[in-house]
Structure 1
């Protein structure tokens, strides 16, 4: 059966407004099953986790189901799934924990391609430990971050390498398995920011070579929270700061305070929605996710090509970064117009495409864009060819307005 985008859109109440949403890299719109799961969790008796009453059992069930669902999504055991307020918060917590094992003169490697949430937690932790920060550059003409860019920064003192799985600014998908192999050969840990990746491709922690990895369910149809996972043997060795009476078991030792049960219920529902993107898929949830993400990637690839060709046909538009195998994200600027003004023009045509550097400040500077950044267009499971055409039409109107003023 062909990818049924109409059926997917029918599940998302926010799309009934008729506006075109290209702001999914900052957060997707929410399907009804996710909304209902959140509301349903709050409508039931809830208490701290346990087994002596209905509220405790409901909380325990929600947490167990959420860990199982995210484990299926990330290709990792449920008992390695850690929940937190955001991927940023979890990265900060992890960086402080790992920094306790670093010594002056140790080295960590970050990249200029990454979102600041996969840079600053590591550089600040390094500073506090007296470790040295080494920067892996990327090619500003193509947006590519290649294994050799990282290899050039590795040494016998390297303790950690942090790399994005998909740039939130220009869509670059680095060759993570190759970078992981180089990192491990140097005796270092490999941390992956999969926030922009998990929305478009099925994560497999082992296949990527990641020792630890973070993602954000609200980027893939879920609610606002963060998820951390990692190799079980590694997580068992880490000793994060925690309250004395709180559990010392993994993953609970990494989770501060009471979990937001309603959001975990929504995250589980979001994974189930993703597993149903291919209605013909059968088997385990992981197997259904595999088929559904294959269908999603095919759908988004076709739309990305339509967008790419359409932008190329418009005068005055520069697309920044041309990686070979990008996630479906485009960053562009329009000659004679500030990015924020282009965003306002698009909004007047009911097209949401935000402007800025989107916290990828190092990447924006390396691309020569500065604080203004560019206009970012991101695709989602609910994006359509008509959405792309409406964006292109609105941009052509902007060009005609410029020409009439000339």
Structure 2
């Protein structure tokens, strides 16, 4: 297919402000169908879920339809889709639930590559259970986290391996399938942070083999909340803390309070929007998503190559995104300039490329960048070649001052 970037961009009202957005890893802009779906949900009768009143039925339909849409996106089962306020909240909840099954001397594996939301909940839960935390290191020179790095910290006492599917800081995609297999051979569960990965590659949870997979719709054109996917039969074995009168059914036993129905409606619309990226694709939603993500990955690969070549032509730039397999995400620092100054300089020119460690503080420190991090460039489906050229021109002007 031809990736019609002009037609695609026309569906994002925020782009009319003229800003070139490179902050996709932190959150994407919102297309009109998602905005409309949220408004439609709030414009019709809406109440707690049920089957009697119109508002009850509307809420029930939104939840049911969105579980199916997210299951299609992730290659999961609808009864295994849990909704929460954020991926961080869901991970904290699951860490407390799983820690009930740990004993002193048990071990939990976390990695230096991860966002802190897939580190600190496990470190803190392990401390409460008397379990030991073992750290898997990545190579700061290459940005690679390998299966051998995980194997080195596994033992017969490992109860959980928490690993990212893609680094939100430098884009590295570890060999997650191989890591999951190693963890399972050691008798451990796996918890995969897919927040950054889901925006760029189609997920197949069944093929991946992860026990738990978490993501955030606002990273793939949807509204702000979190999603956790797992096998329903695994969720059935877990006993989270919950209110006495709340249902014990799966997946609802993991969902605290009333769900944000309007945001779920927006998430369903975001999945359908992604499925329509290739207008020529036909078939089921899942089949259309396969075609759409193939087109998206090609579009982002072309733009990332353009960025890589442009940065290579600039003096005094150090690129820290070096892994062979990575998302279209680039972290950089400068020999003689502050990345915070670059962030401000670009912002004044209508280019949004933020600076920081973006909650991947362990990765930033391991790279030798402390808590400061660097300037991060991240692509989204609506990023254009013109955006990239504006970014590169802005960086050239900044470095040439």
What is the TM-score of this pair, normalised by structure 2?
0.99
SS at match of 1:52: coil
Matched with 1:84 is: 84
Residue matched to 2:268 = 268
- Secondary structure of the 2:198 match is coil
Q: CA deviation at 1:335?
A: 1.7
Query: What's the Cα RMSD here?
Result: 0.6
* Divergent runs of 4+, >3 A: none
Q: Is the Cα contact below 8 Å between 1:86 and 1:225 reproduced in 2? A: yes
Corresponding position of 1:2: 2
Aligned to 1:404: none
- Distance apart, 1:114 and its partner CA: 0.2
**1:15-54, aligned counterparts within 5 Å?**
15-54=15-54
Q: What is the aligned partner in structure 1 of residue 316 from structure 2? A: 316
CA distance in 1, matches of 2:80, 2:136: 29
Matched position secondary structure for 1:392:
helix
**What's the counterpart of residue 66 of structure 2?**
66
State the partner residue of 1:302. 302
Contact 2:337 2:399 in 1 (8 A): no
Q: What is aligned with 2:161?
A: 161
Matches for 1:196-275 after TM superposition, within 5 Å = 196-275=196-275
SS at match of 1:237: coil
Deviations 1:250-284 (A, max 9, x none): 00000000000000000000000000001111000
1:129 and 2:129 equivalent? Answer: yes
Matched length? 401
- Are the aligned partners of 2:216 and 2:224 in contact in 1 as well (CA < 8 Å)? yes
| 2:279 alignment partner in structure 1 | 279
CA positional deviation for 1:223: 0.1
Deviations 1:22-65 (A, max 9, x none): 00100000000000000000000111100111010000000011
C-alpha distance in structure 2 between counterparts of 1:282 and 1:334, whole Å? 46
Deviation string, structure 1 residues 193-236 (Cα, Å, up to 9, x no partner): 00000000011112222000100000000000000011222111
**2:151 equivalent in structure 1:** 151
**1:332 alignment partner, SS class:** strand
Distance 1:145 1:188 in 2: 19
Q: Give the drift of 1:71.
A: 0.4
Q: Specify the alignment match of 1:325 in structure 2.
A: 325
Give matches, 1:169-184, under 5 Å: 169-184=169-184
C-alpha distance in 2 between matches for 1:232 and 1:139: 36
1:107 counterpart residue number: 107
Say whether 1:193 aligns with 2:162: no
Report SS of the residue matched to 1:371: coil
Residues 213 and 229 in structure 2, CA contact (< 8 A), matched pair in contact too: yes
Aligned twin of 1:12: 12
The secondary structure found in structure 1 opposite 2:83 is strand
| Residue 363 in structure 1 maps to residue 363 in structure 2 | yes
**How far apart in 1 are the matches of 2:292 and 2:130?**
46
Q: Work out the CA distance in 2 between the residues paired with 1:372 and 1:152.
A: 29
Residue pair 2:316, 2:335 contacting (<8 A) in 1 also: yes
8 Å CA contact 1:140, 1:321 repeated in 2: no
Deviation, structure 1 residue 325: 1.1
Q: Secondary structure at the match of 2:168?
A: coil
Residue ranges of structure 2 left out of the alignment (5+ in a row): none
Equivalent residues of 2:147, 2:175 under 8 A apart: yes
1:146-191 CA-partner distances (Å, limit 9, x unpaired): 0000000000000000000000000000001100110000000011
8 A contact 1:110–1:119 mirrored in 2: yes
Q: Which deviations, in whole Å up to 9, do the C-alpha atoms of 1:314-373 show, x marking residues without a partner? A: 001110130001011000012211111110011111100000000000000000011221
Contact 1:338–1:372 (CA<8 Å) still a contact in 2?
no
Does the 8 A contact of 2:321 with 2:329 survive in 1? no
Q: Work out the CA distance in 2 between the residues paired with 1:299 and 1:209.
A: 28
The alignment status of 1:349 with 2:324, answered yes or no, reads: no
Q: Is the 8 A contact 1:176 1:209 kept in 2?
A: no
CA distance in 1, matches of 2:7, 2:201: 20
Q: State yes or no: 1:117 paired with 2:120.
A: no
* TM-score, normalised relative to structure 1: 0.98
Could you tell me how far apart the structure 2 residues matched to 1:99 and 1:400 are? 53
